[in-house]
């Protein structure tokens, strides 16, 4: 086993290469593969950090491919199973048989030193790509007519950037680190608090009383779908669920954001907690008492046990390996959020040959199995198709409106669908009373809102909307509807207060015609 002195190791592994030699490190490649064959924690670390292309020798690429293949099939990874997999792949002769696998095992390193060896492989891999790119640029310059020098420079620069840009399967960033960046931008100070929900649930709290009553919270091993049309608020709603779980449920929460940066997500959380508009926070126009509220919200978020991974181009296997690794590092992990399913790739090389429906089926089953493996509820955000928009009357979403819904509907333990009537501008032409003879809760909210704004002499703050959370499927509990207020300016979902419920109760079915 190698020395624990990283300085000594680096000097050994970075000695000058002979002229025209290809940069790679035989000892480091063998040590990493040997560790994967023996230690499960090392295996998860390696699979979430390295790609097949990070190994230079063809036999090492073959061993890594066999290891990943076994892991993707949830099979044990050891010398014998990898040997059998290599036989099936017809690569065993290339590798050199079981003796070479054992030779790799003999060079394994401790878990504490593994990161150093992984970084060596990444460095060498990036260096190889860089040198290849430089060689290609030079050949193009020598052999082709350069009609426009500026274009050639820009194209060469782009090729070089692509060559050295590591496909980022980043480690999780603790939310307190991200919050510090946001805080430094706003240069704020502290002090804010909010009453926590006292509702008793059997799972992880949703933070919303009525939704807790329907679901009893989110439970271990549950696979939960949140579906809505674009711009209805599904990402914001899911972020609110995640923050409530971390603050009120006091569990660790992992968020995979495939569409938004970690900083943007944290700014949304800050706006939600502080009731300071997201626009003001994004443009750094926060002053006076709002500064105090924002600073306090940042401090509170920093204390929440939230991890955010904003890697783009994530594959199902990346999510699986990262969650399993995190669940070992943080035994208090209680919720995982994936936003959103449509951007996940099921293939290992990023080039799936299956049609999208088959790919969604594979992703859905993989995430459901992950929830069972780590015994943590997983929330996955999905888009609805256009069927809801094309329906003339009732635009309230149904499970069948989920894109490629067959596998999702079957796999899901809980399906939550968001319905926001003002998304369809329904209020601009007619209330539901004209169709049903009875006002909906959304109609009553809009009428009560009008009364409130007339009394205030101005619009209500926050650009509030009424949103129905439809529990369309609940394998272990009730289905039903939960009304929430969505303050779009604050990225905040909230249970209607008793005062608002009383105002809405006073609205009669004659109110629309009287208005």
Catalytic residues, by residue number, are 259
Return the structure tokens found at 120.
């060596």
C-beta atoms surrounding 282 within 10 Å = 13
Q: Please tell me the distance from the alpha carbon of residue 86 to that of residue 92, in angstroms, as a whole number.
A: 5
Structure tokens at 73: 């099939």
Alpha-carbon gap, residue 144 to 142, rounded angstroms: 6
CB atoms near residue 444 (< 10 Å): 23
HEC-encoded secondary structure of 252-299: EEEEEECCCCHHHHHHHHHHHHHCCCHHHHHCCCCCCHHHHHHHHHHH
Closest CA to 112 of 185, 20, 190, 4: 4
The closest of 357, 356, 355, 379 to 367, measured between CA atoms, is 379
Report CA-CA distances (Å) from 156 to 104, 144, 204, 285. 39, 13, 52, 40
Buried b (16+ CB within 10 A) or exposed e, 24-44: bbeebbbbbbbbbbebeebbb
Q: 224, exposed or middle or buried, with CB in 10 Å at 0-12, 13-18, 19+? A: buried
Task: Name all contacts of 192-199 with Cβ < 8 Å and 24+ positions apart.
Answer: 192/273, 192/274, 192/292, 192/293, 192/295, 192/296, 192/297, 192/299, 192/300, 193/296, 193/300, 194/273, 194/300, 196/247, 196/248, 197/244, 197/248
What are the b/e assignments for 492-503, b being 16+ CB within 10 Å? Answer: bbbbbeeebeeb
Q: 4: which 2 tokens?
A: 């624990």
Which residue, 243, 252, 310, is CA-closest to 274?
Answer: 243
Strands (E), 177-246: 223-228
Reply yes or no: is the peptide bond before residue 54 cis, omega within 30 of 0.
no
């Amino acid at each position: 086993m190698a020395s624990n002195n990283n300085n000594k190791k680096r000097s050994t592994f970075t000695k000058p290469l002979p002229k025209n030699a290809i940069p790679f490190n035989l000892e480091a490649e063998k040590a990493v593969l040997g560790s994967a064959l023996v230690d499960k924690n090392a295996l998860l670390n390696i699979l979430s950090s390295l790609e097949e292309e990070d190994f230079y020798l063809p036999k090492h690429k073959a061993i890594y491919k066999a290891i990943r293949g076994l892991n993707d099939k949830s099979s044990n990874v050891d010398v014998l199973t990898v040997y059998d997999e290599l036989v099936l792949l017809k690569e065993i002769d290339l590798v050199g048989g079981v003796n070479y696998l054992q030779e790799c095992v003999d060079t394994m390193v401790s878990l504490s030193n593994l990161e150093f060896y992984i970084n060596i492989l990444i460095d060498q891999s990036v260096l190889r790509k860089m040198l290849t790119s430089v060689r290609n640029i030079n050949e193009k310059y020598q052999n082709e007519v350069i009609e426009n020098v500026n274009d050639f420079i820009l194209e060469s620069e782009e090729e070089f950037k692509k060559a050295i840009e590591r496909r980022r399967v980043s480690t999780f960033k603790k939310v307190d680190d991200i919050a510090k960046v946001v805080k430094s931008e706003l240069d704020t100070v502290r002090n804010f608090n909010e009453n926590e929900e006292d509702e008793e649930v059997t799972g992880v709290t949703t933070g919303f009383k009525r939704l807790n009553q329907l679901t009893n919270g989110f439970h271990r091993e549950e696979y939960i779908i949140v579906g809505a049309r674009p711009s209805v608020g599904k990402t914001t709603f899911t972020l609110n669920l995640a923050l409530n779980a971390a603050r009120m449920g006091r569990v660790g929460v992992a968020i995979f954001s495939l569409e938004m940066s970690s900083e943007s997500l944290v700014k949304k959380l800050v706006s939600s907690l502080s009731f300071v508009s997201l626009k003001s926070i994004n443009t750094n126009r926060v002053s006076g008492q709002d500064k105090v509220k924002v600073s306090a919200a940042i401090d509170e978020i920093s204390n929440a046990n939230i991890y955010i991974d904003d890697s783009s181009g994530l594959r199902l296997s990346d999510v699986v390996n990262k969650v399993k690794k995190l669940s070992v590092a943080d035994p208090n992990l209680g919720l995982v959020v994936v936003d959103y399913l449509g951007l996940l790739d099921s293939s290992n090389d990023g080039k799936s040959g299956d049609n999208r429906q088959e790919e969604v089926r594979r992703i859905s089953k993989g995430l459901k199995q992950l929830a069972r493996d780590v015994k943590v509820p997983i929330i996955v955000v999905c888009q609805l198709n256009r069927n809801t928009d094309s329906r003339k009357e009732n635009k309230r979403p149904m499970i069948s409106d989920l894109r490629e819904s067959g596998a999702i509907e079957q796999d899901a333990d809980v399906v939550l669908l968001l319905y926001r009537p003002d998304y369809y501008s329904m209020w601009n032409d007619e209330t539901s009373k004209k169709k049903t003879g009875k006002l909906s809760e959304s109609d009553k909210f809009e009428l009560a809102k009008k009364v409130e704004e007339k009394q205030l002499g101005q619009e209500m703050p926050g650009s509030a909307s009424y949103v129905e959370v439809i529990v369309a499927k609940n394998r272990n509990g009730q289905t039903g509807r939960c009304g929430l207020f969505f303050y779009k300016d604050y990225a905040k979902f909230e249970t209607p207060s008793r005062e608002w419920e009383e105002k809405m109760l006073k609205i009669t079915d004659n109110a629309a015609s009287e208005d």
